[in-house]
Amino acid sequence: MGSNPFVDFLGVCILVARPAPKPGDDLACSQRVAGRPFDLVTGHSAQVQVLVAHEPPAIALLADSPLHRAAIQDVHDTYVSSGIGPAMQKFMIASGLEGEGGQQRVGSEPQPEPAPETAAAMSQMQRNMEFFLAHYALAVSTYQPDITALKAGSTRIVAGVGEDSKGNLAQQGALTLAERLGTPVVIFPGDHGGYMRHPREFTETLRKVLATG
């Protein structure tokens, strides 16, 4: 990561309303960027007017966080010993996401040869997943947002959850975050991946949130 926090975010956050980050911008982030948005607004709250955190991974805020950290450690250890497949099966269970998004097991039937662009995308996804299991998941499980600093800053922080989420770990984190901040929770369309499965409706809700207050 570079020294400029905005540069660090360019590939993983959506900066709304302007093509480049400027004082007073709004910031909407998915859970994949973990705690970095909170670190950004803690140190640079004047640069961000609103932070919308949709089901952020805030495991450390949960009362039973040691149990969840142990489960994520097991996911990591399984990746090291057995590879992506077994590790992701455990992760989906540990995160509570196995019942969301209409996910289905991949069948054993032979699959047709993918187009070159599809093969490239699948290869990138594989590399992303390897990084996630090797490094990211453990870091997320131990990240502790500085609630006192977040409350003291000028950034309005909005915790969002999916209306179809079924108690997944990130949803629990968002609810706990809102409770600790003393702010209401905003309901977004879909589940944990609602921004992918319902992009139009999700965007409409996001714009309403940014226009409020």
**Residues 145-170 pLDDT 10s:** 999 999 999 999 999 999 999 899 99
pLDDT above 90 (res 87) = yes
**Residues 177-209 pLDDT 10s:** 999 999 999 999 999 988 888 999 999 999 999
Which of residues 108, 142, 176 is at a domain's end? 142
- Alpha-carbon distance of 12 to 108, in angstroms, equals 33
pLDDT above 90 (res 33) = no
CA dihedral 195, 199, 200, 206 (to 10 degrees): 30
Q: Which residue has the higher pLDDT, 83 or 20?
A: 83
The answer to whether residues 180 and 66 touch, using CB atoms and an 8 Å cutoff, is no
105 is a domain residue: no
185 is a domain residue: yes
Directed axis angle between helix 84-95 and helix 116-131, to 10°? Answer: 70
Instruction: Give the domain CATH number at 18.
Output: 3.40.50
pLDDT above 80 (res 138) = yes
The model's pTM is: 0.77
Domain containing 75: what range? 65-98+116-142
Are residues 186 and 163 part of one domain? yes
165 is a domain residue: yes
